[in-house]
Amino acid sequence: MLLRRIEQFLTRYAMPPTKFGRLAVHDPRFVLDLAAAGDRIARGDRAKLTADRVGYMCHPNWVSRSDRKPPVGIWQPRISGEEGLKATAAWYAREGWL
């Protein structure tokens, strides 16, 4: 079903699959919009990834950028990203959110 929608999108906008692939690789917003559309198709009104959530995640004030990190002498993380994500996923599972 999602592949059919992608094919319809390509036809509607006369977009070659190679351009679609380049957008998917270089534009996180494009990928998230597609994922939100897929979630809407799969879950309907119960979709978790919605267009408004994609908007929040891609807003310039909510995007992590390595060139904006504080200097080492001012702040250093105490928990690695991998460790933090693992702990967060465990907490979500304990709370029944996963």
Question: How do residues 33-47 score in pLDDT, each as one tens digit?
Answer: 988 988 998 999 999
Q: What angle do CA 47, 51, 56 make, to 5 degrees?
A: 115
Residues in the chain: 98
List the domain boundaries for the chain: 2-94
Whole-model pTM: value is 0.49
pLDDT tens figures, 47-88: 999 999 999 888 888 767 778 888 889 988 899 989 999 999
52 φ, ψ (degrees, to nearest 5): -70, -35
